[in-house]
Amino acid sequence: MLVLAVWIYAAPHNLQVGYAPEQPVPYSHRLHVQELGLDCRYCHANVERAGEAMVPPTQTCMGCHSQIRTDSAMLQPVRDSWETGKAIEWVRVHQVPDHAFFDHSVHLAAGVGCVSCHGRVDQMEVVRIEEPLSMGWCLDCHRDPGPNLRPRSEITNMTWEPDEAWLAQIGERVSSLEPPEHCSGCHR
């Protein structure tokens, strides 16, 4: 019984949820997404075309901060990075294990919204893991993707809710996806 209890509570999905590392530059997703209205794709520009969402380069930050809050002490590491060409060493928050294959672009093309996996990032001062990112959790979605799907035009809309028209067509959408449930779908 003790072994079972330790296995359950020490499983990776219990250790990952809530992980919110300190970053080299304090970055508020709540401010940038909810208050200022930045779309996820402004910073994570290749998320629809590549497997990884990418951590934005300094030039993305400087797109605004060369004009806004140019003397902020909190943004000094960004300005230093810009001047030296040395990348900011962001701490990765969401990390799929090396033995698993995950492609952001495929999921977004299918209509899985950012909020399904990352939670309400627009309300987070510091990004944290909201979902377990475990194999079982992923398989639950692959077996029943409907609740996580939305129109592609709404993939970054954190507040989108399905309406009657969407609910009427979701069955057809789900049947056209066929997400893999076999081992080689995610373990290559």
pLDDT in tens, 150-176: 999 999 999 999 999 999 999 998 999
- What is the pLDDT, as a whole number, of residue 97? 87
> Which pTM does this prediction carry?
0.86
Segment (H or E) for 107: helix 104-110
Helix, strand, coil % (nearest 5) of the chain? 50, 0, 50
- What is the pLDDT, as a whole number, of residue 162? 95
- What is the pLDDT, as a whole number, of residue 16? 87
Sequence-ordered list of residues with C-beta below 8 angstroms from that of 116, at least 6 positions apart, any chain: 141, 148
Tokens of 61: 């930050």
- What is the pLDDT, as a whole number, of residue 96? 87
Question: Amino acid identity of 13?
Answer: H
pLDDT tens for each residue of 1-12: 665 555 555 555
Contact between 158 and 121 (Cβ < 8 Å): yes
Position of tokens 């495929």? 106
- What is the pLDDT, as a whole number, of residue 12? 52
**CA 132 – CA 127 distance, rounded (Å):** 14
Q: Which residues of the chain have pLDDT under 50?
A: 13-14
**CA 98 – CA 141 distance, rounded (Å):** 20
